[in-house]
Amino acid sequence: MSAAAQGTSKAAHGDVAPKKKKGPGALATAYLVIYNVVMTAGWLVIAVGLVRAYLARGSYHGLYYSIEKPLKFFQTGALLEVLHCAVGIVPSSVVLTGFQVMSRVFLTWAVTHSVREVQSEDSVLLFVTAWTVTEIIRYSFYTFSLLNHLPYLIKWARYTFFIVLYPMGVSGELLTIYAALPYVQKTGLYSVTLPNKYNFSFDYYTFLILVMISYIPLFPQLYFHMMRQRKKVLGHADDYSKVE
């Protein structure tokens, strides 16, 4: 699922209401700035890669292959964010962050990478584009927040673009999982059947269907959470100056 709903970070709301926050130390702040700059750069590389490949080929088809490696690298690298929460240098929930990152990593590796036949689907481009734009905005948002100089434009973008990007990403993800289903069923990918000496079974096909169903309760919750965050953060736009 798109990590656009990562609205729980207090760093995002530090400019809305003065809250008592411990905050990371100077070393941790320096590290986080570097981390977020690197991630912004990484997703920019992916964005540029997509544009260049499109211009070179003249079609939307099969653009996944041109950005496959940086996508895997930077999306998997986001696992560090779970560590940041666990260690306490980022004031977000480990569980929430873990869940969001794991769902992205799951789509990248357990679906798109594992089922070759879906890699040429247009739905892959749909979610990759959504993720790319979201992450560029999100990581630059964090970078500027940490440096205490957040341009209103970035804040606005972060809390507005999701309105389109989130459903776009979810659609791409669901369509991709759906496209993978027949191949998973045919090859028995990641599945274990009885009998075996550990008396265990796992049907990856059924699992993927359950994952798709789980989007139904989860997506609206995350989407409306972001909507509420938007009202809170941007609602008082008239009271604040455009650039801090």
Partner 1 sequence: VKHTVEVLDATTKEQLCFLDKVDPHSTIGDIKSLFYKSYPQWYPARQALRLDTRGKSLRDDEVLQNLPVGTTATMYFKDLGPQLGWTTVFFAEYIGVLLTYLVFFFRVPYIYSHTYALTSSPHPVVKLACVCHTFHYVKRLMETIFVHRFSHGTMPLRTIVKNCAYYWGFSAWLAYYINHPLYTPPSYGELQVKYALFTFAMCEVGNLSIHMSLSNLRTDGFRVRRFPTPTKNPFTWLFFFVSCPNYTYEVGAWLSFTVMTQCLPVAIYTLFGFIQMTIWAKVKHRAYLREFKDYPTVRMAIIPLIL
Active site positions, annotated: 166, 173
The DSSP result for 42-103, as a single string, is HHHHHHHHHHHHHHHHSSSTTTHHHHHHHHHHHHHHTTHHHHHHHHTSS-S-HHHHHHHHHH
194 binds partner 1 (CB under 8 A): yes
Report how far Cα 164 is from the mean position of its chain's Cα atoms.
Answer: 14
199 binds partner 1 (CB under 8 A): yes
Q: Cβ closer to partner 1: 93 or 148?
A: 93
20 binds partner 1 (CB under 8 A): no
198 binds partner 1 (CB under 8 A): yes
Q: Which residues in 176-197 are b (16+ Cβ under 10 Å) and which e?
A: bbebbbeebeeeeeeeeeeeee
19 binds partner 1 (CB under 8 A): no
Cβ–Cβ under 8 Å, residues 68 and 103: no
Q: Cβ closer to partner 1: 59 or 196?
A: 196
Query: What's the token pair of residue 87?
Result: 């260690």
Q: Cβ closer to partner 1: 59 or 199?
A: 199
Q: Cβ closer to partner 1: 60 or 202?
A: 202
Could you say which residues in the range 200-229 bind partner 1, by CB under 8 A?
Answer: 200-201
CA distance linking residue 218 with residue 221, whole number of Å: 5
- Contact residues toward partner 1 (CB under 8 A) are 194-201
